[in-house]
Structure 1
Amino acid sequence: MSSFPDVAVWSIPAFVLLTVVEIISVRLHPGEEDAGYEVKDAATSVSMGLGSLFFSFLWKFQDVAVYSVVYELTPLRVPLLWWTFPLMLIAQDFLGYWSHRSHHVIRILWACHVVHHSSRKFNLTTALRQPWMTFTVGFFFLPMVAAGVHPVVLAFCSSVNLVYQFWIHTERIDKMPRWFEFVFNTPSHHRVHHASQGSYLDRNFGGVLIVWDRLFGTFVAETERPVYGLTKNIRTYNPLKVASHEYVAIAKDIKMAGSWSERAGRVFRGPGWRPQDRTSVSVASVTKEPAA
């Protein structure tokens, strides 16, 4: 099967144009006092995005190798037809929901995804603040390959999903029509996802569709204005530290752990987990409360 275009890469000019429009909008109509842009924060987000292009290219070798083996072993094949392609987009979004949710509730996965939540601002450059260590993401989509979806088609579906999520990183859009808010992920829903308030934590994991959150009990509507960032913010604009800080914190906590069960808990339990019989924790590691 011939290669599909990388929708995310081809969309970069649109990303730049929309960001410029948003910046102009913020300048003309500032809104909340802490809304909008901060130069260092936006620069860090763009730097993380550029870095993710490089590292994503490296991790693709891993994904291509695994996907190719699974695709050759499965006897199933899903043809690319006008009616199967929308179903594949929905399937990819469904698996993306569980990938996203898992990356919030398992600490070693959160160490990757925390990068995207580390900004205390919420604007279109926040969408570009992508992790570099995405080697944990691809495995969640193996069921599609095992069901006979060609890896190239899966990559295209993932790219479409990622591009959709760019525009929902804004405070410039309030609410969409009710029917749209019920079915699709929107800026309002995604603002909740990026918030650090207790009632908003670990909610609204959907990529394109918000119906998964409604079905699996993780949906919360936006009521109060979100406070963005982490429950314990890292206060750095250094891209290397932003990309690696939680991995470093995990290593410190493993070193301080008093037993193998605690070491396992530091890696595989929730991001805010701590053993009941120990009170000493690495301050840097508590970037999020335990998942609800």
Structure 2
Amino acid sequence: MPNLPDVVLWSIPAFVLLTVIEMISVRIHPDDEAAGYEAKDAATSVTMGLGSLVFDLLWKIPIVAVYTAIHELTPLRVPVLWWTVPLMLLAQDFFYYWSHRGHHVIRILWACHVVHHSSRRFNLTTALRQPWTSLTVWPFYVPLIACGVHPAALAFCSSANLVYQFWIHTERIDKMPRWFESVLNTPSHHRVHHASQGGYLDRNFGGILIVWDRLLGSFAAETERPVYGLTKNIHTYNPLKVATHEYVAIAKDLKAAGSWRERAGRVFRGPGWQPAAPPAAAPVEETTAA
């Protein structure tokens, strides 16, 4: 297959330039504290991003092995041509939607993705706050490989999707034109996704396109000012703790669980799931001797 460019590598100068421009913009026209920069928070986000590059290289070894095996077994082949690449991007974005949604509603997957939502600020460095345990993502794309998409082509599409999402992590852009907001993911849509108030929770999972959310009932428009972060925020800038805090919480819940049913719920149900409280015992009526 033709050599495909490393989209992320080529985009690094643009990442740096846009971040500097945003920093200057915030300094000249301060808006809201959550949109601004705080040195420790930004440094943590950048550290998480750099760490994710290292860990992703490790996770790629088993993932590429599995994808390659599946690709060799399937008789289907999707060639890399000028007209198939947009179709592969479209398909990858669809499966990204389900991967992203799954990582919000299944707690063991959320333990990976929660890293990206752990900052209470929303600026371009937030886009760099990536997990170190992305090994949970690969199963969602198996159907594409089974349909004949080459693993390298999938990697290119995933990188393009990631690069697109960089610019939507900002409050410096209010609303895009209506046609743009109707089809594509925008800063307004993604601010909703990063918000922690009830009406905004688990909304707007799309990567490049917002149409999946509109079609599948997970869309919410930005109406009130978002409050960023988690429903229960962490109070640390330690990258290791940021990367692992939800896994630690799951381990504590498993240790305290009273049954295997509860243990399964703590792992595979939603992040906020709690076991049903036991029914209250009926009051005992007092009797008096006649």
TM-score bracket for this pair, using the shorter chain length: over 0.9
Look at both structures and tell me which one has the larger radius of gyration over its CA atoms.
2
What is the match of residue 68 of structure 1?
A: 68
The residue type paired with residue 10 of structure 2 is W
Q: How far does residue 9 in structure 1 lie from its aligned partner after superposition?
A: 1.9
Please give the secondary structure, in 1, of the residue aligned with 2:124: coil
Please give the secondary structure, in 2, of the residue aligned with 1:11: helix
CA distance in 1, matches of 2:3, 2:60: 14
Number of positions where the alignment pairs a residue of Structure 1 with one of Structure 2: 279
The residue type paired with residue 161 of structure 1 is N
1:237 aligns with 2:242: no
Q: How far does residue 33 in structure 1 lie from its aligned partner after superposition?
A: 4.0
What is the match of residue 135 of structure 1?
A: 135
Deviations 1:193-214 (A, max 9, x none): 0000000000000000000000
Deviations 1:235-275 (A, max 9, x none): 11000000000000000100000000100100000000010
The residue type paired with residue 53 of structure 2 is L
CA distance in 2, matches of 1:196, 1:270: 15
Q: How far does residue 6 in structure 1 lie from its aligned partner after superposition?
A: 1.7
What is the match of residue 261 of structure 1?
A: 261
CA distance in 1, matches of 2:3, 2:108: 32
CA distance in 2, matches of 1:58, 1:264: 28
The residue type paired with residue 260 of structure 1 is W
What is the match of residue 117 of structure 2?
A: 117
Deviations 1:109-155 (A, max 9, x none): 00000000000000000000000000010111111110001111110
CA distance in 2, matches of 1:70, 1:34: 44
1:58 aligns with 2:58: yes
CA distance in 1, matches of 2:64, 2:35: 40
The residue type paired with residue 91 of structure 2 is A
Aligned runs of 1:97-246 on 2, under 5 Å?
97-246=97-246
Please give the secondary structure, in 2, of the residue aligned with 1:125: helix
Q: How far does residue 3 in structure 1 lie from its aligned partner after superposition?
A: 4.1
Contact 2:34 2:120 in 1 (8 A): no
Gapped regions of structure 1 (runs ≥ 5)? 279-292
1:14 aligns with 2:7: no
Q: How far does residue 13 in structure 1 lie from its aligned partner after superposition?
A: 1.2
What is the match of residue 42 of structure 1?
A: 42
Q: How far does residue 35 in structure 1 lie from its aligned partner after superposition?
A: 2.6
1:29 aligns with 2:18: no
Deviations 1:18-47 (A, max 9, x none): 000000000000012443111110000000
Contact 2:94 2:212 in 1 (8 A): yes
What is the alpha-carbon root mean square deviation over aligned residues?
A: 1.1
Contact 2:2 2:80 in 1 (8 A): no
CA distance in 2, matches of 1:104, 1:33: 26
The residue type paired with residue 43 of structure 1 is A
* Larger mean Cα displacement after TM superposition, 78-87 or 203-212: 78-87
Contact 2:174 2:187 in 1 (8 A): yes
CA distance in 2, matches of 1:220, 1:240: 33
The residue type paired with residue 268 of structure 2 is F
What is the match of residue 94 of structure 1?
A: 94
Deviations 1:164-185 (A, max 9, x none): 0000000000000000000000
Q: If the length of structure 1 is used for normalisation, what is the TM-score?
A: 0.94
Q: How far does residue 63 in structure 1 lie from its aligned partner after superposition?
A: 1.3
The residue type paired with residue 219 of structure 1 is F
The residue type paired with residue 54 of structure 1 is V
Contact 2:34 2:228 in 1 (8 A): no
The residue type paired with residue 150 of structure 2 is H
Please give the secondary structure, in 1, of the residue aligned with 2:80: coil
CA distance in 2, matches of 1:19, 1:214: 30
What is the match of residue 285 of structure 1?
A: none
Q: How far does residue 5 in structure 1 lie from its aligned partner after superposition?
A: 2.4
Q: If the length of structure 2 is used for normalisation, what is the TM-score?
A: 0.94
Q: How far does residue 12 in structure 1 lie from its aligned partner after superposition?
A: 1.0
The residue type paired with residue 119 of structure 1 is S
CA distance in 2, matches of 1:133, 1:243: 8
What is the match of residue 251 of structure 2?
A: 251
CA distance in 2, matches of 1:104, 1:128: 19
Gapped regions of structure 2 (runs ≥ 5)? 279-290
CA distance in 1, matches of 2:142, 2:276: 36
